[in-house]
Structure 1
Amino acid sequence: MSDEALALASQVIEDCRAGEMPAPVIRAFFDEATFTASYVVHDPVTRVAAIVDSVLDFDAASGRTQRGSADAIVAYVEREGLTVDWLLETHAHADHLSAAPYLQERLGGKLAIGREIVHVQETFGKLFNAGTEFERDGSQFDRLFDDGDTFQLGQVQATVLHVPGHTPADLAYVIGDAVFPGDTIFMPDFGTARADFPGGDPHQLYRSIRRLLSLPREGRLFLCHDYKAPGRDDYAWETTIGAQRDANVHVHDGIDEDSFVAMRTERDRSLAMPKLIMPAIQVNMRGGHLPEPEPNGTRYLKIPLDAV
Protein backbone atom coordinates (compact mmCIF):
# COMPACT_ATOMS: atom_id res chain seq x y z
CA MET A 1 0.00 0.00 0.00
CA SER A 2 1.56 3.24 -1.14
CA ASP A 3 1.75 6.70 0.35
CA GLU A 4 1.12 7.96 -3.20
CA ALA A 5 -2.32 6.31 -3.21
CA LEU A 6 -3.21 7.91 0.11
CA ALA A 7 -2.00 11.30 -1.07
CA LEU A 8 -4.10 10.97 -4.22
CA ALA A 9 -7.20 10.02 -2.21
CA SER A 10 -6.65 12.99 0.09
CA GLN A 11 -6.30 15.31 -2.90
CA VAL A 12 -9.57 14.03 -4.37
CA ILE A 13 -11.38 14.92 -1.14
CA GLU A 14 -9.72 18.33 -0.90
CA ASP A 15 -10.46 19.17 -4.54
CA CYS A 16 -14.09 18.24 -4.08
CA ARG A 17 -14.42 20.28 -0.90
CA ALA A 18 -12.82 23.22 -2.73
CA GLY A 19 -15.42 23.05 -5.49
CA GLU A 20 -13.03 21.86 -8.20
CA MET A 21 -15.35 18.96 -8.98
CA PRO A 22 -19.03 18.35 -8.22
CA ALA A 23 -19.85 16.84 -4.84
CA PRO A 24 -21.41 13.41 -5.39
CA VAL A 25 -25.07 12.91 -4.55
CA ILE A 26 -25.53 9.87 -2.32
CA ARG A 27 -28.70 7.92 -1.61
CA ALA A 28 -28.60 5.18 1.02
CA PHE A 29 -30.76 2.05 1.04
CA PHE A 30 -30.75 0.32 4.43
CA ASP A 31 -31.64 -3.36 4.70
CA GLU A 32 -32.62 -3.95 8.31
CA ALA A 33 -32.66 -7.74 7.90
CA THR A 34 -28.87 -7.73 7.35
CA PHE A 35 -28.11 -4.29 8.85
CA THR A 36 -26.54 -3.35 5.51
CA ALA A 37 -26.40 0.08 3.89
CA SER A 38 -26.15 0.07 0.09
CA TYR A 39 -25.56 3.26 -1.84
CA VAL A 40 -26.24 4.88 -5.17
CA VAL A 41 -23.63 7.57 -5.79
CA HIS A 42 -23.93 9.93 -8.74
CA ASP A 43 -22.43 12.99 -10.37
CA PRO A 44 -25.14 15.69 -10.32
CA VAL A 45 -23.90 17.15 -13.62
CA THR A 46 -23.64 14.10 -15.89
CA ARG A 47 -25.99 11.82 -13.86
CA VAL A 48 -23.40 9.02 -14.07
CA ALA A 49 -23.71 6.67 -11.09
CA ALA A 50 -22.17 3.83 -9.13
CA ILE A 51 -23.93 1.31 -6.88
CA VAL A 52 -21.99 0.25 -3.78
CA ASP A 53 -22.57 -3.03 -1.85
CA SER A 54 -26.02 -4.07 -3.05
CA VAL A 55 -28.21 -6.66 -1.28
CA LEU A 56 -30.09 -9.66 -2.66
CA ASP A 57 -32.85 -10.58 -0.21
CA PHE A 58 -32.45 -14.15 1.07
CA ASP A 59 -34.50 -16.21 3.50
CA ALA A 60 -32.23 -18.93 4.87
CA ALA A 61 -35.07 -21.04 6.28
CA SER A 62 -36.82 -21.44 2.93
CA GLY A 63 -33.82 -20.97 0.65
CA ARG A 64 -35.73 -18.34 -1.32
CA THR A 65 -34.22 -15.25 -2.89
CA GLN A 66 -36.14 -12.06 -3.59
CA ARG A 67 -35.24 -8.79 -5.27
CA GLY A 68 -37.14 -6.18 -3.28
CA SER A 69 -34.03 -4.39 -2.05
CA ALA A 70 -32.45 -4.41 -5.50
CA ASP A 71 -35.67 -3.31 -7.17
CA ALA A 72 -35.80 -0.27 -4.89
CA ILE A 73 -32.40 0.70 -6.27
CA VAL A 74 -33.55 0.09 -9.85
CA ALA A 75 -36.62 2.28 -9.29
CA TYR A 76 -34.50 5.10 -7.87
CA VAL A 77 -31.96 4.96 -10.71
CA GLU A 78 -34.70 5.02 -13.32
CA ARG A 79 -36.66 7.77 -11.57
CA GLU A 80 -33.57 9.98 -11.31
CA GLY A 81 -32.49 9.32 -14.91
CA LEU A 82 -29.08 7.96 -13.89
CA THR A 83 -26.61 5.98 -15.97
CA VAL A 84 -24.85 3.25 -13.98
CA ASP A 85 -21.17 2.90 -14.88
CA TRP A 86 -20.00 0.89 -11.86
CA LEU A 87 -21.21 -1.81 -9.48
CA LEU A 88 -18.70 -1.61 -6.63
CA GLU A 89 -18.12 -4.27 -3.98
CA THR A 90 -15.97 -3.32 -1.00
CA HIS A 91 -15.25 -7.01 -0.32
CA ALA A 92 -16.82 -10.48 -0.42
CA HIS A 93 -19.46 -9.98 2.25
CA ALA A 94 -20.19 -12.66 4.85
CA ASP A 95 -23.52 -11.26 6.04
CA HIS A 96 -25.55 -10.70 2.89
CA LEU A 97 -25.76 -11.85 -0.71
CA SER A 98 -24.84 -9.37 -3.43
CA ALA A 99 -27.45 -8.37 -6.00
CA ALA A 100 -24.81 -7.10 -8.44
CA PRO A 101 -25.54 -9.54 -11.31
CA TYR A 102 -29.26 -8.70 -11.24
CA LEU A 103 -28.55 -4.97 -11.13
CA GLN A 104 -26.02 -5.32 -13.93
CA GLU A 105 -28.63 -7.08 -16.04
CA ARG A 106 -31.19 -4.34 -15.36
CA LEU A 107 -28.97 -1.27 -15.33
CA GLY A 108 -25.60 -2.12 -16.89
CA GLY A 109 -22.23 -1.07 -15.46
CA LYS A 110 -18.96 -2.83 -14.72
CA LEU A 111 -18.67 -5.04 -11.62
CA ALA A 112 -15.54 -4.34 -9.56
CA ILE A 113 -13.81 -5.58 -6.42
CA GLY A 114 -10.25 -5.68 -5.05
CA ARG A 115 -7.63 -7.87 -6.70
CA GLU A 116 -7.07 -9.78 -3.47
CA ILE A 117 -10.44 -11.47 -4.02
CA VAL A 118 -8.40 -14.27 -5.60
CA HIS A 119 -7.12 -15.24 -2.13
CA VAL A 120 -10.66 -15.30 -0.77
CA GLN A 121 -11.72 -17.46 -3.72
CA GLU A 122 -8.88 -19.88 -3.11
CA THR A 123 -9.64 -20.24 0.60
CA PHE A 124 -13.39 -20.64 0.27
CA GLY A 125 -13.24 -22.54 -2.99
CA LYS A 126 -11.51 -25.28 -1.02
CA LEU A 127 -13.91 -25.02 1.92
CA PHE A 128 -16.94 -25.45 -0.34
CA ASN A 129 -15.22 -28.00 -2.58
CA ALA A 130 -16.20 -25.83 -5.53
CA GLY A 131 -14.27 -27.94 -8.04
CA THR A 132 -12.13 -26.98 -11.00
CA GLU A 133 -15.08 -25.34 -12.76
CA PHE A 134 -14.94 -22.53 -10.19
CA GLU A 135 -12.32 -20.10 -11.46
CA ARG A 136 -10.16 -18.64 -8.68
CA ASP A 137 -8.76 -15.77 -10.73
CA GLY A 138 -11.35 -13.05 -10.16
CA SER A 139 -12.73 -13.51 -13.68
CA GLN A 140 -16.31 -13.29 -12.32
CA PHE A 141 -15.69 -9.53 -12.03
CA ASP A 142 -15.15 -6.98 -14.79
CA ARG A 143 -12.43 -5.07 -12.94
CA LEU A 144 -10.03 -5.99 -10.15
CA PHE A 145 -8.81 -2.84 -8.45
CA ASP A 146 -5.36 -2.31 -6.97
CA ASP A 147 -4.38 0.20 -4.32
CA GLY A 148 -4.21 3.64 -5.91
CA ASP A 149 -6.27 2.85 -9.00
CA THR A 150 -8.51 5.65 -10.22
CA PHE A 151 -11.73 5.96 -12.18
CA GLN A 152 -14.23 8.65 -13.09
CA LEU A 153 -17.87 8.99 -12.16
CA GLY A 154 -18.79 11.56 -14.74
CA GLN A 155 -16.96 14.70 -13.61
CA VAL A 156 -16.26 13.27 -10.14
CA GLN A 157 -12.84 11.73 -9.63
CA ALA A 158 -12.57 8.51 -7.64
CA THR A 159 -9.71 6.47 -6.27
CA VAL A 160 -9.28 3.16 -4.49
CA LEU A 161 -7.51 2.25 -1.25
CA HIS A 162 -6.70 -1.33 -0.23
CA VAL A 163 -7.68 -1.67 3.44
CA PRO A 164 -7.20 -5.31 4.48
CA GLY A 165 -7.74 -6.71 7.96
CA HIS A 166 -11.42 -7.62 8.05
CA THR A 167 -10.69 -9.73 4.97
CA PRO A 168 -7.63 -9.70 2.67
CA ALA A 169 -9.61 -8.07 -0.13
CA ASP A 170 -11.28 -5.07 1.50
CA LEU A 171 -11.30 -1.81 -0.43
CA ALA A 172 -12.35 1.73 0.40
CA TYR A 173 -13.69 3.81 -2.47
CA VAL A 174 -13.01 7.55 -2.31
CA ILE A 175 -15.50 9.26 -4.66
CA GLY A 176 -15.18 13.01 -4.48
CA ASP A 177 -15.41 13.88 -0.79
CA ALA A 178 -17.24 10.63 0.05
CA VAL A 179 -15.48 7.55 1.41
CA PHE A 180 -17.03 4.08 1.34
CA PRO A 181 -14.88 1.96 3.69
CA GLY A 182 -16.92 -1.26 3.63
CA ASP A 183 -16.74 -3.17 6.90
CA THR A 184 -13.46 -1.78 8.21
CA ILE A 185 -15.11 0.71 10.55
CA PHE A 186 -18.58 1.41 11.95
CA MET A 187 -20.23 4.44 13.56
CA PRO A 188 -18.05 6.05 16.24
CA ASP A 189 -20.23 4.71 19.07
CA PHE A 190 -20.04 1.13 17.74
CA GLY A 191 -16.39 0.78 16.78
CA THR A 192 -14.76 -1.45 14.20
CA ALA A 193 -15.17 -4.65 12.21
CA ARG A 194 -14.17 -8.11 13.35
CA ALA A 195 -10.87 -9.54 12.12
CA ASP A 196 -11.25 -13.27 12.79
CA PHE A 197 -12.42 -14.49 9.38
CA PRO A 198 -9.96 -16.54 7.27
CA GLY A 199 -7.30 -14.12 6.08
CA GLY A 200 -8.35 -11.48 8.61
CA ASP A 201 -5.75 -9.83 10.80
CA PRO A 202 -6.32 -7.29 13.61
CA HIS A 203 -2.88 -5.74 13.07
CA GLN A 204 -3.69 -5.14 9.42
CA LEU A 205 -7.12 -3.84 10.35
CA TYR A 206 -5.65 -1.28 12.75
CA ARG A 207 -3.17 -0.06 10.14
CA SER A 208 -5.86 0.11 7.46
CA ILE A 209 -8.15 2.14 9.71
CA ARG A 210 -5.39 4.52 10.73
CA ARG A 211 -4.61 4.95 7.04
CA LEU A 212 -8.24 5.84 6.37
CA LEU A 213 -8.28 8.22 9.33
CA SER A 214 -5.32 10.12 7.90
CA LEU A 215 -7.59 11.36 5.10
CA PRO A 216 -8.89 14.95 5.48
CA ARG A 217 -11.14 15.32 8.51
CA GLU A 218 -13.95 16.75 6.38
CA GLY A 219 -14.24 13.57 4.31
CA ARG A 220 -17.72 12.05 4.54
CA LEU A 221 -17.80 8.39 5.57
CA PHE A 222 -20.64 6.16 4.36
CA LEU A 223 -20.57 2.89 6.28
CA CYS A 224 -21.67 -0.55 5.13
CA HIS A 225 -23.41 -1.60 8.36
CA ASP A 226 -25.01 -0.32 11.52
CA TYR A 227 -26.24 -2.31 14.52
CA LYS A 228 -27.37 0.54 16.79
CA ALA A 229 -24.95 0.99 19.65
CA PRO A 230 -26.34 0.66 23.19
CA GLY A 231 -28.33 3.76 24.04
CA ARG A 232 -28.98 4.75 20.42
CA ASP A 233 -32.49 4.17 19.06
CA ASP A 234 -31.98 4.89 15.37
CA TYR A 235 -29.83 3.34 12.68
CA ALA A 236 -27.07 5.57 11.32
CA TRP A 237 -24.49 5.10 8.58
CA GLU A 238 -22.99 8.51 7.79
CA THR A 239 -20.20 10.19 9.73
CA THR A 240 -16.88 11.94 9.02
CA ILE A 241 -13.20 11.17 9.24
CA GLY A 242 -12.89 13.80 11.98
CA ALA A 243 -15.71 12.30 14.06
CA GLN A 244 -14.05 8.90 13.90
CA ARG A 245 -10.67 10.27 14.92
CA ASP A 246 -12.23 12.11 17.86
CA ALA A 247 -14.68 9.55 19.19
CA ASN A 248 -14.52 6.04 17.72
CA VAL A 249 -14.76 3.81 20.78
CA HIS A 250 -12.21 1.31 19.44
CA VAL A 251 -9.73 3.33 17.43
CA HIS A 252 -9.89 7.08 18.16
CA ASP A 253 -6.69 9.10 18.13
CA GLY A 254 -4.42 7.92 20.94
CA ILE A 255 -5.30 4.22 20.76
CA ASP A 256 -2.13 2.31 19.88
CA GLU A 257 -1.90 -0.85 17.81
CA ASP A 258 -1.22 -3.27 20.66
CA SER A 259 -4.19 -2.00 22.66
CA PHE A 260 -6.46 -2.25 19.65
CA VAL A 261 -5.31 -5.77 18.77
CA ALA A 262 -5.83 -6.98 22.33
CA MET A 263 -9.33 -5.51 22.41
CA ARG A 264 -10.27 -6.75 18.94
CA THR A 265 -8.97 -10.27 19.59
CA GLU A 266 -10.84 -10.61 22.87
CA ARG A 267 -14.02 -9.17 21.39
CA ASP A 268 -13.91 -11.41 18.32
CA ARG A 269 -13.73 -14.53 20.52
CA SER A 270 -17.16 -13.63 21.89
CA LEU A 271 -18.87 -13.11 18.52
CA ALA A 272 -21.04 -15.71 16.81
CA MET A 273 -20.56 -16.37 13.13
CA PRO A 274 -22.78 -14.24 10.85
CA LYS A 275 -26.08 -16.01 10.21
CA LEU A 276 -25.69 -15.92 6.44
CA ILE A 277 -21.95 -16.56 6.17
CA MET A 278 -22.27 -19.91 4.38
CA PRO A 279 -24.66 -18.83 1.62
CA ALA A 280 -23.20 -15.33 1.40
CA ILE A 281 -19.58 -16.33 0.82
CA GLN A 282 -20.54 -19.03 -1.70
CA VAL A 283 -22.45 -16.48 -3.74
CA ASN A 284 -20.23 -13.45 -3.26
CA MET A 285 -16.98 -15.23 -4.14
CA ARG A 286 -18.70 -15.79 -7.51
CA GLY A 287 -19.40 -12.08 -7.95
CA GLY A 288 -22.97 -12.48 -6.71
CA HIS A 289 -23.82 -15.24 -9.17
CA LEU A 290 -25.81 -18.16 -7.76
CA PRO A 291 -24.41 -21.68 -8.26
CA GLU A 292 -25.32 -23.27 -11.57
CA PRO A 293 -28.44 -25.50 -11.55
CA GLU A 294 -27.86 -29.22 -11.11
CA PRO A 295 -29.32 -31.76 -13.61
CA ASN A 296 -32.74 -31.54 -11.92
CA GLY A 297 -32.85 -27.80 -12.61
CA THR A 298 -32.44 -26.72 -8.97
CA ARG A 299 -29.60 -24.62 -7.57
CA TYR A 300 -28.03 -25.71 -4.28
CA LEU A 301 -25.88 -24.09 -1.62
CA LYS A 302 -23.54 -26.17 0.53
CA ILE A 303 -23.03 -26.16 4.27
CA PRO A 304 -19.72 -27.78 5.25
CA LEU A 305 -20.19 -29.71 8.48
CA ASP A 306 -17.70 -29.48 11.36
CA ALA A 307 -15.26 -27.63 9.11
CA VAL A 308 -15.11 -24.13 10.61
Structure 2
Amino acid sequence: MGLVWWEHPVLQKAALFYENGTGGAADDPYASRNAPFINPAAHLDKIKYHSDLDYMEVSHGPTNVTISHASVAAGSGPGGEVGLNGVLQFPATVTNHDLLTHGLGYVPDFMVIYDGDVIYPGRPVQVLSDGRTRKVAANATSSVIRLREWAVRTSNSMAAASRTYTVIVFREPRAPSGIVLRHWDPVTGILTLARGRFRSDRRYLQVVPGGTPFGFAKGRTIDWDNGTIRYVDPDGSVFEIVPASFAMKVRMSSEPNDAPYGPSMAYAGSFAGSSSVLVKVP
Protein backbone atom coordinates (compact mmCIF):
# COMPACT_ATOMS: atom_id res chain seq x y z
CA MET A 1 0.00 0.00 0.00
CA GLY A 2 1.93 2.96 -1.29
CA LEU A 3 1.60 6.72 -1.01
CA VAL A 4 -0.02 7.90 -4.24
CA TRP A 5 -0.50 11.30 -5.91
CA TRP A 6 -3.51 11.34 -8.22
CA GLU A 7 -4.94 14.08 -10.35
CA HIS A 8 -7.91 13.28 -12.56
CA PRO A 9 -8.85 15.82 -15.27
CA VAL A 10 -12.33 14.35 -15.85
CA LEU A 11 -13.31 14.03 -12.18
CA GLN A 12 -11.49 17.30 -11.45
CA LYS A 13 -9.94 15.95 -8.27
CA ALA A 14 -6.39 15.96 -6.95
CA ALA A 15 -5.20 13.98 -3.95
CA LEU A 16 -2.22 12.58 -2.07
CA PHE A 17 -3.24 9.42 -0.20
CA TYR A 18 -2.24 5.98 1.00
CA GLU A 19 -3.81 3.18 -1.02
CA ASN A 20 -6.68 1.27 0.55
CA GLY A 21 -5.22 -2.20 0.06
CA THR A 22 -4.24 -3.60 -3.33
CA GLY A 23 -7.58 -4.53 -4.89
CA GLY A 24 -8.30 -3.49 -8.48
CA ALA A 25 -6.22 -1.80 -11.12
CA ALA A 26 -3.90 0.96 -9.98
CA ASP A 27 -5.06 3.25 -12.78
CA ASP A 28 -8.78 2.78 -12.07
CA PRO A 29 -10.06 5.62 -9.85
CA TYR A 30 -13.01 3.43 -8.77
CA ALA A 31 -10.84 0.48 -7.71
CA SER A 32 -11.00 -0.38 -4.01
CA ARG A 33 -7.32 0.49 -3.62
CA ASN A 34 -8.16 4.05 -4.72
CA ALA A 35 -11.24 4.43 -2.50
CA PRO A 36 -9.67 7.40 -0.60
CA PHE A 37 -9.54 9.29 -3.89
CA ILE A 38 -13.26 8.82 -4.63
CA ASN A 39 -14.55 9.03 -1.04
CA PRO A 40 -12.05 10.90 1.14
CA ALA A 41 -14.48 11.44 4.04
CA ALA A 42 -14.66 7.68 4.61
CA HIS A 43 -10.85 7.30 4.55
CA LEU A 44 -9.51 10.32 6.40
CA ASP A 45 -6.78 8.24 8.05
CA LYS A 46 -5.28 7.66 4.58
CA ILE A 47 -5.55 11.21 3.24
CA LYS A 48 -2.60 13.61 3.15
CA TYR A 49 -4.34 16.07 0.82
CA HIS A 50 -7.61 15.98 -1.11
CA SER A 51 -9.13 18.80 -3.13
CA ASP A 52 -12.67 17.92 -1.95
CA LEU A 53 -11.86 18.75 1.68
CA ASP A 54 -12.09 22.12 3.42
CA TYR A 55 -8.66 23.05 4.78
CA MET A 56 -10.01 26.06 6.68
CA GLU A 57 -8.32 28.96 4.95
CA VAL A 58 -7.89 31.90 7.30
CA SER A 59 -9.73 35.06 6.30
CA HIS A 60 -9.05 37.21 9.40
CA GLY A 61 -6.74 36.92 12.37
CA PRO A 62 -5.46 35.83 14.70
CA THR A 63 -6.66 39.17 16.10
CA ASN A 64 -6.49 40.04 19.80
CA VAL A 65 -9.46 41.96 21.21
CA THR A 66 -9.66 43.18 24.81
CA ILE A 67 -13.12 43.43 26.37
CA SER A 68 -13.82 45.39 29.54
CA HIS A 69 -16.48 43.40 31.36
CA ALA A 70 -18.56 45.58 33.68
CA SER A 71 -19.01 44.96 37.40
CA VAL A 72 -22.05 42.99 38.54
CA ALA A 73 -24.11 44.17 41.51
CA ALA A 74 -24.87 41.86 44.42
CA GLY A 75 -28.09 39.87 44.44
CA SER A 76 -30.41 39.40 47.38
CA GLY A 77 -32.34 36.48 48.84
CA PRO A 78 -36.07 36.15 49.38
CA GLY A 79 -37.51 38.84 51.63
CA GLY A 80 -37.69 38.00 55.33
CA GLU A 81 -35.46 34.92 55.19
CA VAL A 82 -33.25 34.42 58.23
CA GLY A 83 -30.04 32.45 58.27
CA LEU A 84 -29.70 32.46 54.50
CA ASN A 85 -27.01 30.02 53.37
CA GLY A 86 -26.38 31.71 50.04
CA VAL A 87 -27.82 33.25 46.89
CA LEU A 88 -27.26 32.17 43.29
CA GLN A 89 -29.08 34.17 40.63
CA PHE A 90 -28.76 33.14 36.98
CA PRO A 91 -28.45 35.04 34.74
CA ALA A 92 -27.80 38.30 36.52
CA THR A 93 -26.68 40.21 33.43
CA VAL A 94 -26.58 39.60 29.67
CA THR A 95 -24.33 41.72 27.42
CA ASN A 96 -23.22 41.44 23.79
CA HIS A 97 -19.79 42.55 22.54
CA ASP A 98 -18.67 42.86 18.90
CA LEU A 99 -15.22 41.29 18.59
CA LEU A 100 -14.46 41.62 14.87
CA THR A 101 -16.15 42.82 11.70
CA HIS A 102 -15.35 40.33 8.93
CA GLY A 103 -17.67 41.55 6.16
CA LEU A 104 -17.66 38.23 4.29
CA GLY A 105 -21.37 38.42 3.54
CA TYR A 106 -22.07 34.95 4.96
CA VAL A 107 -21.87 33.27 8.38
CA PRO A 108 -18.33 31.85 8.52
CA ASP A 109 -16.62 29.22 10.62
CA PHE A 110 -14.52 30.85 13.34
CA MET A 111 -12.65 30.35 16.59
CA VAL A 112 -12.52 32.58 19.65
CA ILE A 113 -9.66 31.79 22.02
CA TYR A 114 -9.24 32.76 25.66
CA ASP A 115 -6.29 31.86 27.86
CA GLY A 116 -4.84 29.61 25.17
CA ASP A 117 -7.96 27.51 24.53
CA VAL A 118 -10.77 27.74 21.99
CA ILE A 119 -13.84 28.69 24.03
CA TYR A 120 -17.00 26.61 24.15
CA PRO A 121 -20.51 27.97 24.93
CA GLY A 122 -20.70 29.04 28.57
CA ARG A 123 -16.94 29.10 29.14
CA PRO A 124 -16.24 30.78 32.53
CA VAL A 125 -13.83 33.73 32.32
CA GLN A 126 -14.23 34.92 35.94
CA VAL A 127 -14.95 32.49 38.78
CA LEU A 128 -15.05 33.41 42.47
CA SER A 129 -15.22 31.06 45.43
CA ASP A 130 -18.82 31.76 46.48
CA GLY A 131 -20.27 30.96 43.06
CA ARG A 132 -19.98 34.34 41.34
CA THR A 133 -19.22 33.53 37.72
CA ARG A 134 -18.93 35.40 34.45
CA LYS A 135 -19.45 33.25 31.33
CA VAL A 136 -19.13 33.85 27.60
CA ALA A 137 -20.18 32.24 24.32
CA ALA A 138 -19.23 33.31 20.79
CA ASN A 139 -21.45 33.53 17.72
CA ALA A 140 -21.22 34.81 14.16
CA THR A 141 -23.44 36.77 11.79
CA SER A 142 -22.86 37.53 8.11
CA SER A 143 -20.84 40.60 9.14
CA VAL A 144 -19.41 40.25 12.68
CA ILE A 145 -18.09 37.84 15.30
CA ARG A 146 -19.75 38.50 18.65
CA LEU A 147 -19.28 37.54 22.26
CA ARG A 148 -22.29 37.05 24.51
CA GLU A 149 -21.64 37.50 28.22
CA TRP A 150 -23.79 36.62 31.20
CA ALA A 151 -23.18 36.30 34.92
CA VAL A 152 -24.25 34.26 37.90
CA ARG A 153 -24.26 36.42 41.02
CA THR A 154 -24.48 35.92 44.75
CA SER A 155 -25.09 38.22 47.70
CA ASN A 156 -21.67 39.72 46.93
CA SER A 157 -20.88 42.01 44.01
CA MET A 158 -18.48 40.97 41.25
CA ALA A 159 -15.73 43.38 40.21
CA ALA A 160 -15.20 44.51 36.64
CA ALA A 161 -12.70 42.45 34.65
CA SER A 162 -10.65 42.94 31.49
CA ARG A 163 -10.19 39.89 29.27
CA THR A 164 -8.34 39.48 25.96
CA TYR A 165 -9.78 37.18 23.29
CA THR A 166 -8.14 35.99 20.08
CA VAL A 167 -10.37 35.75 17.01
CA ILE A 168 -9.75 33.64 13.89
CA VAL A 169 -12.21 33.65 10.97
CA PHE A 170 -12.21 31.11 8.13
CA ARG A 171 -13.49 31.68 4.62
CA GLU A 172 -15.54 29.22 2.60
CA PRO A 173 -13.57 26.89 0.28
CA ARG A 174 -12.70 28.65 -2.95
CA ALA A 175 -14.50 27.74 -6.16
CA PRO A 176 -12.31 26.02 -8.79
CA SER A 177 -10.92 28.29 -11.48
CA GLY A 178 -9.21 27.34 -14.74
CA ILE A 179 -8.23 23.82 -15.78
CA VAL A 180 -4.83 23.22 -14.13
CA LEU A 181 -4.83 20.64 -11.34
CA ARG A 182 -1.22 21.19 -10.29
CA HIS A 183 1.17 24.06 -10.90
CA TRP A 184 4.53 24.96 -9.41
CA ASP A 185 5.99 28.41 -9.98
CA PRO A 186 9.80 28.18 -9.63
CA VAL A 187 10.13 31.96 -9.33
CA THR A 188 7.65 32.57 -6.51
CA GLY A 189 7.83 29.07 -5.03
CA ILE A 190 4.02 28.89 -4.94
CA LEU A 191 2.32 25.53 -5.38
CA THR A 192 -1.26 25.63 -6.72
CA LEU A 193 -3.50 22.56 -6.63
CA ALA A 194 -6.98 21.56 -7.80
CA ARG A 195 -7.72 24.51 -10.10
CA GLY A 196 -6.73 27.07 -7.49
CA ARG A 197 -8.60 25.63 -4.54
CA PHE A 198 -5.29 25.32 -2.66
CA ARG A 199 -2.27 27.63 -2.78
CA SER A 200 0.80 27.35 -0.61
CA ASP A 201 0.93 31.13 -0.06
CA ARG A 202 -2.44 31.16 1.72
CA ARG A 203 -2.84 30.59 5.45
CA TYR A 204 -4.64 27.48 6.67
CA LEU A 205 -5.38 26.14 10.13
CA GLN A 206 -2.72 23.62 11.11
CA VAL A 207 -2.65 20.80 13.63
CA VAL A 208 0.86 21.07 14.98
CA PRO A 209 2.56 21.64 18.35
CA GLY A 210 5.09 24.37 18.96
CA GLY A 211 4.98 28.13 18.62
CA THR A 212 1.78 29.51 20.08
CA PRO A 213 -0.81 26.77 19.50
CA PHE A 214 -4.36 26.87 20.79
CA GLY A 215 -6.10 23.97 22.51
CA PHE A 216 -9.19 22.68 20.69
CA ALA A 217 -11.42 20.12 22.41
CA LYS A 218 -12.34 17.10 20.29
CA GLY A 219 -15.26 16.12 22.49
CA ARG A 220 -17.44 17.16 25.39
CA THR A 221 -16.29 20.00 27.70
CA ILE A 222 -19.25 20.14 30.15
CA ASP A 223 -20.70 17.53 32.52
CA TRP A 224 -23.87 17.63 34.62
CA ASP A 225 -24.14 16.03 38.06
CA ASN A 226 -26.05 16.70 41.28
CA GLY A 227 -28.00 19.48 39.60
CA THR A 228 -24.96 21.51 38.54
CA ILE A 229 -22.11 21.44 36.04
CA ARG A 230 -18.36 21.08 35.71
CA TYR A 231 -16.44 22.73 32.86
CA VAL A 232 -13.14 21.26 31.64
CA ASP A 233 -10.94 23.21 29.21
CA PRO A 234 -8.89 21.53 26.45
CA ASP A 235 -5.79 22.06 28.62
CA GLY A 236 -7.44 20.27 31.57
CA SER A 237 -8.39 23.35 33.63
CA VAL A 238 -11.52 22.64 35.71
CA PHE A 239 -14.25 25.12 36.66
CA GLU A 240 -17.15 24.51 39.04
CA ILE A 241 -19.51 27.39 39.80
CA VAL A 242 -21.47 25.97 42.75
CA PRO A 243 -19.31 25.96 45.93
CA ALA A 244 -19.29 22.97 48.26
CA SER A 245 -20.91 25.09 50.98
CA PHE A 246 -24.02 25.80 48.92
CA ALA A 247 -27.09 23.95 50.22
CA MET A 248 -30.86 24.41 50.25
CA LYS A 249 -33.86 23.95 52.49
CA VAL A 250 -37.53 24.11 51.60
CA ARG A 251 -40.20 25.33 54.05
CA MET A 252 -43.51 27.13 54.09
CA SER A 253 -43.29 30.80 55.07
CA SER A 254 -45.48 30.07 58.11
CA GLU A 255 -43.14 27.36 59.39
CA PRO A 256 -40.27 27.99 61.82
CA ASN A 257 -36.82 28.60 60.42
CA ASP A 258 -35.14 25.75 62.27
CA ALA A 259 -35.29 23.17 59.44
CA PRO A 260 -31.85 21.82 58.49
CA TYR A 261 -30.22 22.47 55.16
CA GLY A 262 -29.87 19.61 52.73
CA PRO A 263 -26.57 18.18 51.43
CA SER A 264 -24.13 20.17 49.32
CA MET A 265 -25.43 21.05 45.85
CA ALA A 266 -21.93 21.21 44.36
CA TYR A 267 -20.83 19.03 41.46
CA ALA A 268 -20.07 15.50 42.67
CA GLY A 269 -19.12 13.68 39.47
CA SER A 270 -15.76 12.64 38.02
CA PHE A 271 -15.72 14.14 34.51
CA ALA A 272 -12.12 14.84 33.42
CA GLY A 273 -12.72 16.37 29.99
CA SER A 274 -12.15 15.08 26.48
CA SER A 275 -9.12 14.65 24.27
CA SER A 276 -7.86 17.75 22.53
CA VAL A 277 -5.57 18.83 19.73
CA LEU A 278 -3.24 21.80 19.35
CA VAL A 279 -4.03 24.05 16.40
CA LYS A 280 -2.26 27.13 15.08
CA VAL A 281 -2.25 29.59 12.20
CA PRO A 282 1.08 30.27 10.44
* TM-score band, normalised by shorter chain: under 0.3
Pick the structure with more helix per residue. Answer: 1
TM-score by length of 1: 0.20
